[in-house]
Amino acid sequence: MAITYQEFMREPVDLQAMGIELGGEREPYFCTPRGAEIFGWAGVDGIHYCFVPGFGETVFAVNPMGADYVRPLAKNFEDFLRLLLACGDVAALDQAAGWSREEFDTFVAGIPLDEGREAAKTALEERFLLAPMEEPFVYLQGVQGSFDLSQIPFSEEMTEVQAPEWKAPEWRVPFGSSFWGGEGRRGQEVPIAREFVWEGQRWLIPALYLCGKGIVMDFCIPVERERVREFYDKWSPLEERGEEPDRATLRQIEEENPLAFCFAPKLVVNGREMPFRSGCAVCWTPAFPQGRASELEAQWVAEHYGLTAAYAWSIHRFSFPWATKRRPVLKSLLLHLEQEPVERISGRFRAAAGEAVKLRHPFSGAEHLLTVLDYRAEEISLPERDFEFPCWCNVLCYMLEPALPQGHFRLQDCVQNDQPVPKMTEGSAAAIGIIGGADGPTAIFVAAEAEEIPALTAYSALHFEPVAPEKVEWQAVFLEKTKEDIVVELTEEVAGAMEKGESQ
């Protein structure tokens, strides 16, 4: 006889290492079936697991960010536990419906058997004499393929919540639009499906759009899921603990993010250059980590272009205005891609006047000597405004040997500026901002007065109270391009796609 949930709860096993937090008094979501008995939560995106009245011991997963909202996972609770034993994490069960067998097996193989999962697995096997499900993917296909979701008893509010914003809107790409929408006439979609490799990384241009004001082009970059999983596993504990990372940690996170691609595209149409005017990006990270959902817009893009869930995707959109007053006839189209300089930190240090600090160039490996020539605390005078403004900083004058070209090196404080505080007085608020914060020229501007205080050296963050120079921690930032520029010929693909579209 199958083990029921009630029997399991008499001597429960902690399943948190497998992605499920048991129990907990939490309110149901709009898409939770009416009368459902919720027994566990994934801890992200509102995903929860339940039994539904009229369906016995069938275990359902409810995902407020999913396309179907509700899916059956197992015919009974014992089978659900056996699926966990076979896969190691409930995320595999949640995402299996959108995968092929190969994708499912690859995902499961990448789930580490850490100490927590090992303990849960041993307890399930020994305490309840359970064995792993032999063919979990086949089992899930059988359960979900034969199930009629129309029979799920949803609440009356469900119809109202399922408004158009939860469904992919009509696909339209006007000039200057983002993935979140845009005004103007839709562009003519030209599907070119152009793939190329740039410094070992595969790129895809699924389509471009011809508009009255210019060209819109989408770039889709696949990234191995394991790289993204490792990145999230390393840095997500900061978010879970509610910690606010300092400036140096934020910089390190940016450096290591496998979905971050900084590049500057430029089109050349009929021999005339068309730099981009605007750009935006989203990421589609299907199936991980532990069910983390992507933005809906990213899912819509992935669906429109048929991107495979075997990868995570970094998706970019750029708009290029015509170089002529009127839309030209396309005779030739070249794409130029240039990488924006990559920033890498090499060393965090505290220093005093006269000291020398050795720094190793993170790109070339060369050793540089930074000598502190002068170092002092300084108070900056600002005119009276409706804001209390931090005015204390530390000025560090230094020499770097061997020297680097301008724009290839800078120093910056590891912490951020204190934020201006409005005074409790009548009158309009002034617009005060800080621009820079690293090597000169750094400037502080006050709106309307336009007073500029230039700095030829490195300035620390601004604070309301003076900070002793020896307590300021600096970080050295080196900037280099790690990729050669590339030119991609698109003339034939565009001509072929347009000719095909006209013939249809």
pLDDT, the chain, mean: 83
**What confidence tens digit (pLDDT) does each residue in 165-188 have?**
445 678 999 999 888 777 789 999
Ranges assigned E (strand) in 142-285: 188-198, 201-210, 214-224, 263-269, 272-275, 278-284
Who wins on pLDDT, 387 or 270? 270
pLDDT at 428: 40
Mean pLDDT of 36-47: 88
Contact assessment for residue 477 and residue 344, using Cβ atoms and an 8 Å cutoff: yes
Q: Is the confidence at residue 377, as pLDDT, over 80?
A: yes
Name the more confident of 438 and 335.
335
Q: Is the peptide bond before 402 cis (omega within 30 degrees of 0)?
A: yes
Q: What is the distance of C-alpha 321 from the center of its chain?
A: 28
Q: What integer pLDDT is reported at residue 345 of this predicted model?
A: 85
In the structure, what pLDDT confidence band is assigned to residue 431 with cuts at 50, 70 and 90?
Answer: very low
Question: What is the structure's pLDDT at 154?
Answer: 77
Q: What is the largest CA-CA distance in the chain?
A: 82
Helices 115-128 and 77-87 meet at what angle, rounded to 10?
140
Percent of the residues in the chain that have a pLDDT greater than 90, as a whole number: 47
- The residue-averaged pLDDT of 205-229 equals 94
pLDDT tens sequence across 339-364: 988 888 888 899 898 999 999 999 99
Spatial distance between the Cα atoms of 391 and 473, rounded to a whole number of angstroms: 18
Region 437-462 average pLDDT: 49
* Parallel, antiparallel or unpaired: strands 356-360 and 367-379: antiparallel
Q: Which pLDDT score is estimated for 254?
A: 84
Averaged pLDDT, 253-274:
92
**Burial track 354-388 (b if 16+ CB lie within 10 A, e otherwise):** eeebebebbeeeeebebebeebeeeeeebeebebe
What's the burial of 80, exposed, middle or buried (CB within 10 Å: 0-12/13-18/19+)?
A: buried
* Residue 386, pLDDT score: 63
Model pTM greater than 0.85? Answer: no
- Containing 126, the helix (H) or strand (E) segment is helix 115-128
Q: What does the pLDDT read at residue 215?
A: 97
Per-residue model confidence (pLDDT) at position 455: 36
Q: pLDDT-based confidence at 384, cuts 50/70/90?
A: low
